[in-house]
Structure 1
Amino acid sequence: MKKFSLTIALILTLMLVAACGNNNNNNNAGNTGAGGNNASATEQPAAAQNSLDAVKASGKLRIGTEGTYAPFTFHDASGTLTGFDVEIAEEVAKRLGVKAEFIETQWDGMFAGLDAKRFDAIFNEVSVTDERKVKYDFSDPYIISKAVLIVSENNKDIKSFDDLKGKKSGQSLTSNLGKIATDHGAEIVSVEGFNQAIDLLTSGRIDATINDGLSFLDLKKQKPDVKIKSVDEIDNGSRSAATFLKGNDELVKAVNDALAAMKDDGTYLKISDKYFGADVSK
């Protein structure tokens, strides 16, 4: 009986020791070091992707553009989106190692689309202004142009910007060109882009439009018989650049590097010469 009792006691003791060992192991499983700090608490969270990494991870650069503003961004006879800005953007995306994805948007909704992060950048002849620089970041300028005052060929009343007072000028509402018109006393007639402004002008529904001089030259080259003329121009050239939301420093730098490389190896001049017959970066 004594041996039996001792055996039972020994078994119970071993079971108790084993149970205590299991409890200690379970308690220690979620703790490390003195003080029992949880191991997961010491792990560093994964670093958030910067703007360039995010674009590369997606495999595409989403680009806001009009598609109605020749020769910068428009559809050719086959319906394909093309133009100076489009080709520049495509080459930039290529050098970033991603595909250019164009999201066509009316000019007056362009910045709202960028604010809503519908696209990563705008390539659409956006002029760099102090007002815009408060909210947005820009690449290095990739084109310089002058605004011109365009009227119908038989117009004898408007010879300069000062003659716009009381006249109807076709302009995009949020364009800096529209501000030039209002500063000279014009009545603004809202248009979606250059082509519509020219249509209204040639049909006599507006008196004038202030628009890009390069667009005017391209139109006259494509349609030499169009009954319009340029009568005045702004002295200072407007610098246009790709536009980004603030905080995308890595992406902006990568785009600048791509633009610089395109100028160094002659790719930029090739695109520029195709549309304008000149280097429009100067």
Structure 2
Amino acid sequence: MLKLFQFNLRLIALCSLLLSGSCMAQNLALYCEEDRPLQFYGTDGKLTGFTIEIVQEIQKRVGNKDRIQVVPWARGLDKINNNPNTLLFSMARTPEREDAYQWIGPIMSNIYGLYAKADSNLRIHSIEEAKQLSLIGVYRNDIRDQTLTRLGFTNLDRASSNISSFKKLMMGRIPAYTDSKLGVESLAIASGYQASDVKLIFELFKSELYIAASKNTDKHIVEQWNQALEQMKQDKTFMKIEQKYRRQISPTLPATPSLKSKQ
């Protein structure tokens, strides 16, 4: 009887190990868009950036070797919305998205504001004043569009890309567009201009950025990634990566948040 009991215990332990191993070995689809300084190709042609290094360090700690794929944001959203075990970063966590995904993070904060041409005399002092502008350029269905719509803005000019909004601004078709402090410089260059061609006229809101996981991603994987990120913050690895990119992302870096804090 004792031998049978011991055999059953070993059998249960073996099954548990195999189950754990299957979770560990489970393939993930990892997507991001090119968005300097978070995710971009360096001069050597290799994918790099603040969040790339964060994700790669998490992968190392959890034993994941899946390749990070760079795709347009719309394609990334399609993938995460329709496939299990799919991750997309960096995504702002909003009320509209809260229940649509699982969340790994936060990894940093981002500040969004209204930008006008550098020689503009436009002055905005409140949300209500911003609502009186003739048009505000936004990237369709992203955090800017969703947040301003929720705040009651009815003057949004929705474009299929941030570049489209930037060019409309420079051509005088809209008086202002929305952008993040992180994204202004790279967007200006991608649009054929310089960051000095625009100026911030009003800060709208701040949002935390996360690695998003599809709703039907294995919850054990999400927990494992969150635990690895927390360990990185505790052993100062996260801080070392922050310091490497601090000059590029310092306007939006808060004190390193704890994953155990209220989200």
**TM-score computed with the length of structure 1 as normaliser:** 0.68
By how many angstroms is 1:64 displaced? 1.3
Q: Matched residue of 2:141: which SS?
A: coil
**Structure with more contact order per residue of length (Cα contacts < 8 Å, sep ≥ 6):** 2
Equivalent-residue separation in structure 1 for 2:167 and 2:100 (angstroms): 33
Question: Following the alignment from structure 2 to structure 1, what is the Cα–Cα distance between the partners of residues 40 and 87?
Answer: 18
1:121 and 2:87 matched: yes
Equivalent residues of 2:135, 2:156 under 8 A apart: yes
The 1:156/1:63 distance shift into structure 2, 3 A limit, reads same
Change (3 A) 1:106 1:217: closer
Q: 1:251 to 1:225 in 2, by over 3 A?
A: closer
1:169 aligns with one of 136, 139, 149:
136
Residue of structure 2 aligned with 1:136, choices 94, 98, 101? 101
Aligned to 1:187: 156
Closer, same or farther in 2 for the Cα pair 1:186/1:56, shift >3 Å?
A: same
* One-letter amino acid of the structure 2 residue matched with residue 172 of structure 1: Y
2:177 to 206, 209, 229: 209
Distance in 2 between residues matched to 1:118 and 1:227, nearest whole Å: 42
In 2, the alpha carbon distance for the partners of 1:157 and 1:251 equals: 48
Q: In 2, distance between residues paired with 1:53 and 1:208?
A: 52
Query: How many Å apart are 1:262 and its aligned residue?
Result: 1.1
| 1:84 to 1:204, Cα distance in 2 relative to 1, 3 A | farther
Question: What is the deviation of 1:218?
Answer: 7.8
Of structures 1 and 2, the larger Rg is shown by 1
Cα-to-partner distance string for 1:20-45 (whole Å, 9 max, x where unaligned)? xxxxxxxxxxxxxxxxxxxxxxxxxx
Q: Which one-letter code corresponds to 2:233 in the other structure? A: K
RMSD: 3.1
Change (3 A) 1:171 1:107: farther
Residue 239 of structure 2 is matched in structure 1 by 269
Structure 1 stretch displaced more, 89-98 or 211-220: 211-220
Partners of 1:82 and 1:197 lie apart in 2 by 26
Aligned mates of 2:232, 2:195 — CA distance in 1: 35
Per-residue CA deviation, residues 85-140 of structure 1 (Å, 9 max, x unaligned), is: 2221111111111224122222223222112328621122x111232122211123
Q: Which residue of 1 aligns with 2:74?
A: 108
After superposition, the C-alpha distances for 1:2-25 in whole angstroms (9 at most, x for unaligned) are: xxxxxxxxxxxxxxxxxxxxxxxx
Q: 3-state SS of the aligned residue for 1:132? A: coil
Structure 2 counterpart of 1:232, one-letter code: F
User: Helix, strand or coil for the counterpart of 1:234?
Assistant: strand
Q: Quick one: which of 118, 121, 127 aligns to 1:156?
A: 121
CA change 1:226–1:200 in 2 (3 A) is farther
SS at match of 2:161: coil
Cα distance change on mapping 1:172 and 1:219 into 2, 3 Å: closer
Gap regions ≥5 residues in structure 2: 1-14, 258-263
Q: Output the CA distance in 2 between the equivalents of 1:54 and 1:208.
A: 51
Q: Report the CA distance shift for 1:123/1:77 in structure 2 as closer, same or farther (over 3 A).
A: same
Letter in 1 for 2:245: Y
The alignment's TM-score, normalised by the length of structure 2, stands at 0.72
Identical columns (%)? 22
Deviations 1:187-234 (A, max 9, x none): 3241434x56445544545432212223347889xx986211111113
**Quick check: 1:66–1:105 contact (8 Å CA) kept in 2?**
yes
Match of 1:84 in 2: 50
- Alignment partner, residue 257 of structure 1: 227
Higher strand share: 2
Inter-CA distance 219–253: structure 2 relative to 1 (3 Å threshold): same
Say if 2:122 and 2:201, in contact at 8 Å, map to a contact too: no
Deviation at residue 157 of structure 1 after TM alignment: 2.5
**CA contact 2:145–2:156 (8 Å) conserved in 1:** no
Residue 243 of structure 1: aligned partner: 212
Separation in 1, partners of 2:166, 2:38: 16
Change (3 A) 1:253 1:72: same
